[in-house]
Structure 1
Amino acid sequence: MMKRPVLLIVSLLALSRVNAQEIYDVSKIPAELLKNASVVIRNEEQVYEVKNPGTAVLTYKTAITILNKNGESASNMHEFYDKFSGISSLKATLYNDKGIKIKDYKSSDFKDRSAVSDGTLYQDDRVKYLDFMYTDYPYTIAYSYTVDYSGIRSYPTWYPASNWGYAVEQSNYIFRIPETMTFKYLKSNNVKTDSVKIKDKIQYQWSCKNVPALEYEPMSMGLKNVMPWVSVAPNQFEFDNSKANIETWASLGSWLFNLSSGMQVLPEGVKTKIQGLLKTAKDPKEKIRILYNYLQSNTRYVGVQLGIGGYKPIAAEKVAAVNYGDCKGLSNYMKAMLQEAGIKSDLVILGNDMPSINKQYASMNQTNHMILCVPLEKDTVWLECTSQLMPAGFIGNSNSNRTVLLITENGGKLVQTPVYDPASNYQKRSTKVNLDEEGSALVSIETQYANAQYEDNVAMLLIDPTAQRKRIMNSLSIPNMQIGTLSYTQPDKNAAVLNEQIGLKCTQLLTKGGDKLFMTLNMLNRQETAVTALEDRKTFFSIDYSFNDEDEIVYTIPKGYKVEFIPKDVLIESEFGRYTAKVVAKDNTLVYTRTKTMTSKAYPPEKYNDFVAFHKKIYQADKQKGILAKIE
């Protein structure tokens, strides 16, 4: 009598194995998803259910096929948690290319460690992860887990094809929320929103199928204008005994202002020190510079991300006692010192090295950094309080030219940070080259780097001479170079300008051909490679920052030689920038001057071929040669 049920169970188990094998067989992947792909998301489902403003449950499962070594990083699951979240039901299964199961991993196979990063002293984040070595490509790894949240700051985003080389066979995001609660979302144009009421909740669903992978595109601003994505954010949340309304940027700013309220109390010793430092200061700007220099000399940056401490600054008294803090603590400490000096300032949150804040969509996950804004009667001074090198008023390229949130007593206020135009992000270089007829040369190079270009090079002040020389050897394309002298100075601590001086010897700077000597005129700041052309670019592109380079090289030609040929002046102009090159022969010298000005902004993909053509002309101009002939 038991034979039939037993046979049924055996049959169902066998059918389950066959179905799994069919599902994860790599040969079943549509051909169009294999093109340009290193990873294929076979099946992904993310279900996020909000219980109330402070609790939620995430159920997640995915199966990822790794096609080759380039996709290896996608196979290693890393799930972060803290005291406000707990991970359960964690498991994984490995399949070979035929979809046959190789191994099951249970929860105890996953490792658990602190997620504290370098430069972070206090952080309660931890991570559960599974690292395994399996290189018999292609293979499939399936993961699933549940996360219970007992404190909410944000809701999960959905971005299944977030990297180059990621294709998606199928992915779903299901979001459930009580009908009494409100929330907001943004989505890409290629995703449809489905919603339905289920008992006392509203369920929203977004999905995508058969999304092909994109091959890497240089200078890309990201995949969001092409790939499917959804961003979801709460209007109210509860976290670490704090209730927040973030329906608007104004209300979010009010919450943050209340968190920082009362945190600007300074010890009496620091107050006395401030009054002494400012005794001879003539105006508010000088006071700001003096206190900023004091901050830089007496504190250092460490990360602090414990609970509400991820949003609430450390008290100024605490920073004064321990001489360290994170971006919030140091900005708040500077605010407290300015307050003691009678100068009003406002804390600012922003996305450092992230896109500008979306003015119409208030959410916590658009910001990752805090700086300070000091409004004066005729000017505004911005302060990056985590740097021990940047001068007062310079906040760096990754903080500039973006919408940020000013945290005021009247709520949050959206403002713009300073824009560093090409003229301010300059590199000015003067080079003298004494040549002999064998092609050897004594070279003297003096360079000034300002603002963003200062930021790119200021680390040279912090490294030892051996490391400095190694960097220069790798950055200059001068044959058989021997560095004699090398120095870096920042003459004015209140200006973002770095001076570089190099003295070197080199050989083979000239090429002999009969009785003639050939020389590449631009020996230093050449565009060494042409920009890669793309037939059908998909994403927007941009350069890192606007800049202006000015180079002058004075060549003293060898005795017994004269100038036989110099190229014509070059002028290349486009919407992307401007390039000039000019050579003048005078007495026994050749003076080569070059300028290159570039503008950073978002360019649509259809402009890319024009950008390539512009840089191809520069590449060719930078290779131009002069010819010296022997005097008979």
Structure 2
Amino acid sequence: MKYTLGLMALLFFSHANAQTNWDVANIHEALKKDATIVIRNEEQFLDIKGINAAKYDYKITATIFNKAGDDFAAMEEVYDKFSTIYNIKAVLYDATGKKIKEYKSSDIKDQSLISGFSIFEDNRLKSLKFVSNSYPYTIEYSFSQDFKGLLYFPQWRDLKDFGVSVEKSSYCIQKDKNYQMKYLSSTGLKVDSTSIGGKIRYKWESSQVPALAKEPMAIGIDNLSSWVKASPNLFEYDGSTGNFDNWNNFGQWIYKLNEGGNQLPEAFKIKIRDLTQAARTPEEKMRILYQYLQQNTRYVSVQLGIGGFRPVLAEKVATVNYGDCKGLSNFMKAMLNEVGINSHLVMIGNGKPSLNAQYSSIGQANHMILAVPIGKDTTFLECTSPYYPMGFIGYGNSNRNVLLVTEAGGKLVKTPAYNASQNYQVSKTKIKFNNENDIDVLINTSYGNSQFEDNLRKTVLEPSEQKKRALENSNIPIETFGYYKCDQKDKTKPELVEELSFKSKPLLSKGGDKYFLLLNQMNRREAVPIKIADRKTFFSVPYAYEDKDEIVFELPQGYQIDFIPKDILIESDFGIYTATFEKKDGLLIYSRTQKMNDKIYPPEKYSEYVDFYKKIVQADKQKAVITKTL
């Protein structure tokens, strides 16, 4: 599903208007501030020849100020059997704009896009890496690309990333008056629309845009950059035709791509029926077949068929035991169908925003899962993970509009949302002081849903690596290591249980005749987010979560607790924090809860967020006062 026409938008170069003096001294000082890279000039021109053909012309000139920008100093453009890239030109300039090197066609690498985890039959890459021994330097390259078939158009954005400023950037689309397409653009961006003969030309442009410094917790720069997303409606591609004018028609095209693709070998059908013959309910059958999928197949990216959008045949997956997200989801669908359970393929933007209900286009989805409606409930299956319990799809797939692919066409539905209480971490810690220097610690921690996902890799590490990480990551200083365990005890639940035992280094600090004990030994916030004056970007935590921590201190004979802090409550729009302190039966019990919301907050709320965390950091420093009575 992840298929791109290029890492950057393709640009049209007009020789008549080309800037030729790339001296860094010509860059306005405002564009140098916070900039690693300055886009000097960028032009993109898409000439749509018809329903199945187009030509791109592209040119970019950019100045790299320091080593942090070197990754940008590269051309990497993807093509396949439905496109050709030609007329590549590339030049390297020094700081004064003097030409250092003009690259030859022999300098351009042309290679297959094959990696250790992917199989690509058609996709290839033309690439060039610019190298300079001094900074700043300027790169420039251009090329043309012809397409036979148009599923989607290149997108355009003036600000490529944080730390990138723009002198000039533009995007132009030319089409026949009768050609059907659509576009979305950023708020306030004007389009220059002109008619030339039987053609319509749309143009968007931007100039003198300063760079943005990277800001903590930023969710992107869409609210600050100028951008355009464009898509065809009617299209023809690799002998297939369709209409992307709405999600229903989009789903019809995807459904037709897979017609006849979920047949299984006869011997395998018998195997499936044997596996599920003792199951009493559809849910039991689904669980058995999902476990079979996880235990007998592996994920491999496969870009086959129509632009990489047609799933590998279920019959093939049954034979080779691997597939990509499309192939594995379709294979699971075929197995369920064999035992009388209906299901639907689902197109989803993993880690992306929800599909836009008013704007259907292929670039919004990059992944496929499966939806299984049984009775009034629908179970969503992530078919690429050997570790997820049935029904858990990960926070990158949760709480977003997705496209249900049915025989009647596409239908937008919403995936399950995981709330803070479901994305939990619950720890219970016992700290027993045999004496000041002999301290036993036992920690039991459970991780649920999104926090299960974050910690899942621990379960597949070698024991030596598990021990190493436990030693490195323990908040309580370890004197002598005991043991460590982390496993998913119930495979039907997205929950990990972790256990750690060790002897601690001394925890009491002395002042005069008093001892001081830091009470939050486990999940302590020690740093306040950096203050930012005049923040520009929206921000959010990755997901809502709830951490609950309890620490029970057992002091040795001859020690008494003289003071414990008062209970703490901190409430805000961002979440809620509580800490309680209790003396009970000779024990000191500390309990802490931090529950965070996953709302998206405007820039002006950031100072409130910093203040909220200041209070948490202070609350996590609370100490008890202890005296020695013997």
TM-score by length of 1: 0.95
CA contact (8 A) 2:304 2:312 kept: no
User: Which residue of structure 1 aligns with residue 230 of structure 2?
Assistant: 232
Tell me which residue corresponds to 1:473.
Answer: 471
Please give the alpha-carbon distance, in whole angstroms, between the structure 1 residues aligned to 2:319 and 2:551: 53
Give how far 1:99 is off.
1.2
Aligned pairs for 1:211-610 (under 5 A) are 211-308=209-306, 310-610=308-608
Q: Look up the equivalent residue of 1:474 and give its one-letter code.
A: E
Deviates more, 1:619-628 or 1:350-359: 619-628
SS state at 2:472 partner: helix
Equivalent residue number for residue 201 of structure 2: 203
1:85 Cα deviation from its structure 2 partner = 1.5
Counterpart code for 1:325: G
CA distance in 2, matches of 1:243, 1:214: 42
Amino acid at match of 1:497: E
CA distance in 2, matches of 1:208, 1:413: 37
Kept in 2, the 8 Å contact 1:123–1:303? The answer is: no
**Uncovered stretches (5+) of structure 1, i.e. residues with no partner:** 1-15
Deviation at 1:522, TM superposition (A): 0.9
**Residue 71 of structure 2 is aligned to residue 73 of structure 1:** yes
Q: Is the 8 A contact 1:440 1:510 kept in 2?
A: no
SS of the aligned residue for 2:387 comes to coil
Matched positions, count: 614
SS in 1 for 2:432: strand
Q: Which residue of 2 aligns with 1:6?
A: none
SS in structure 2 opposite 1:502?
strand
- Structure 2 equivalent of residue 85 of structure 1: 83
Q: 2:142 and 2:278 mapped to 1: Cα distance?
A: 65
Can you list the C-alpha shifts for 1:148-185, whole angstroms capped at 9, x where unaligned?
11222210100121200010000111111111211000
| SS class of match (1:357) | coil
Q: Conserved in 2, the CA contact under 8 Å of 1:433 and 1:556?
A: yes
Displacement of 1:200 after TM fit?
2.3
Pairing 1:130-169 to 2, within 5 Å after superposition:
130-169=128-167
> Which of 22, 27, 30 in structure 2 is aligned with 1:29?
27
Contact 1:253 1:411 in 2 (8 A): yes
Could you list the runs of 5+ residues in structure 2 that have no partner in the other structure? 1-14
- 1:80 and 1:595 map into 2 onto residues whose CA distance is 49
Give the equivalent residue in structure 1 for 2:3: none
Q: Deviations over 1:325-359 (max 9, x none)?
A: 11011101111111111111110001001111111
One-letter amino acid of the structure 1 residue matched with residue 258 of structure 2: S
CA distance in 2, matches of 1:160, 1:154: 19
- Between stretches 553-562 and 442-451, larger displacement belongs to 553-562
- What CA distance in whole angstroms lies between the structure 1 residues aligned with 2:521 and 2:54? 61
By how many angstroms is 1:440 displaced? 4.4
Which whole-Å deviations, capped at 9, do the CAs of 1:503-527 have from their partners, x for residues lacking one? Answer: 1122132222233222211111111
Bigger Cα displacement from structure 2, 431-440 vs 254-263? 431-440
CA contact 2:152–2:231 (8 Å) conserved in 1: yes
What is the deviation of 1:304? 0.7
Kept in 1: contact 2:305–2:311 (CA 8 A):
no
Q: What do residues 245-275 of structure 1 show as CA deviations (whole Å, max 9, x unaligned)? A: 1111110000000111111111122221222
Q: Secondary structure at the match of 1:555?
A: strand
- Cα gap change, 1:482 to 1:206, in 2 (>3 Å): farther
**CA 483–82 in structure 1, closer or farther in 2 if over 3 Å, else same:** farther
Letter paired with 1:573: E
Q: Write the distance in 2 (CA, Å) between the matches of 1:572 and 1:106.
A: 64
Residues 104-156 of structure 1, C-alpha deviation per residue, up to 9 Å, x if partnerless? 11222122222234421334322111123314111111111111112222101
| CA deviation after TM superposition for structure 1 residue 476, in Å | 2.2
Q: Please give the secondary structure, in 1, of the residue aligned with 2:156.
A: coil
Partner Cα distance (1:200, 1:468) in 2: 67
SS at match of 1:399: coil
Distance 2:114 2:507 in 1: 50
Q: Cα 1:410–1:567, aligned 2, differ >3 Å: closer, same or farther?
A: same
Counterparts of 1:152 and 1:553, CA distance in 2: 60
Paired with 1:327 and 1:182, the residues of 2 have a C-alpha distance of 31
Q: Is the 8 A contact 1:162 1:223 kept in 2?
A: no
Distance 1:315 1:541, change over 3 A: same
Matched AA of 1:134: S
Q: In structure 2, which of residues 168, 171, 177 is the aligned counterpart of residue 170 of structure 1?
A: 168
Contact 2:398 2:416 in 1 (8 A): yes
CA contact (8 A) 2:78 2:125 kept: yes
Match of 2:184 in 1: 186
Q: Partners in 2 of 1:307 and 1:605 — Cα distance?
A: 44
User: How big is the shift at 1:435?
Assistant: 2.1
2:11 aligns with none
Deviation at 1:586, TM superposition (A): 2.3
Q: CA deviation at 1:437?
A: 4.4
- What is the match of residue 4 of structure 2? none
Using the TM superposition, give the Cα deviation of residue 472 of structure 1 relative to its aligned residue in structure 2, in angstroms: 2.3
| Normalised TM-score (structure 2) | 0.95
**CA distance, structure 1, for counterparts of residue 234 and residue 441 of structure 2:** 64
**What is the letter of the counterpart of residue 387 of structure 1?**
S
Specify the SS of the correspondent of 2:598: coil
Check the 8 A contact 2:91/2:102 in 1, yes or no. Answer: yes
CA drift of 1:383 comes to 0.3
Identity score, percent = 50
Output the amino acid matched with 2:410. Answer: G
User: C-alpha offsets along residues 590-609 of structure 1, whole Å, 9 cap, x if unaligned?
Assistant: 11100111111211112111
Q: Which amino acid aligns with 1:234?
A: P
User: 1:480 deviation in Å?
Assistant: 4.2
Partner of 1:55: 53
**Residue of structure 2 in register with 1:7 after alignment:** none
Cα distance in 2, alignment partners of residues 513 and 80 from structure 1: 67
C-alpha separation in 2, matches of 1:197 and 1:117: 46
In structure 1, how many angstroms separate the alpha carbons of the residues matched to 2:307 and 2:221? 32
The 8 Å contact of residues 471 and 478 in structure 2, kept in 1 or not, is answered as no
Distance in 2, Cα, partners of 1:159 & 1:28 = 23
In the alignment, which residue of structure 1 is the partner of 2:39?
41
For 2:359 and 2:235, the matched residues in 1 are separated by: 16
Structure 1 residue 54, shift from structure 2 partner = 1.4
